[in-house]
Amino acid sequence: MSIQKKIEFFIDCPHKPGELARALETLSTANVNILAFCGYGHGDTASMHFVVDDDAVATAALKSARIEFETHRVVAITAGSGPGQGARFARALADAKINIEYAYASTSGKGNSTAVFGVRNLEQALKVLG
């Protein structure tokens, strides 16, 4: 299991067909491996969150493609996938009175998966989960 402080790339864009594909293709062309992502629309805007294996290459690729983004610090946990894994991490944070602002994961249901937690007190969350 790996528990890390990671950079999350956050993109707001128009909510229209092709925006997610453009971002994913930009990272893929740069050989960036996406560990976890989520995307959703809200009105005329869409939001995307990505955690990747190479922050520097992702930054350069997104800038080169003129895709505007912000970065945030998040907790990323890569561990074996299976029933209860996400619940275990969420419970540990809840018991420590750490509020989860948002969470998402990438999993196949077996092998490793990556869960991402956006929290205000990153250092405390890392201590609790570690």
CA distance 42 to 47: 8
Residues of the chain with pLDDT under 70: 109
Q: What pLDDT does residue 69 have?
A: 98
Task: Fill in the DSSP letter of residue 44.
Answer: T
CATH class of 73-129: alpha beta
Whole-model pTM over 0.75? yes
Q: Please, which residues bridge with residue 80 across strands?
A: 112
Say which CATH superfamily domain 8-71 falls into: VC0802-like (3.30.2130.10)
Specify the domain boundaries for CATH 3.30.70.260 within the chain: 73-129
Neighbours of 111 (CB within 10 A): 9
Residues present in the chain in total: 130
Looking at residue 85, what is its pLDDT?
84
Residue 29 to residue 49: CA distance in whole angstroms:
18
pLDDT of residue 82: 77
**pLDDT, tens only, 95-109:** 999 999 999 998 776
CATH 3.30.2130.10 positions along the chain are: 8-71
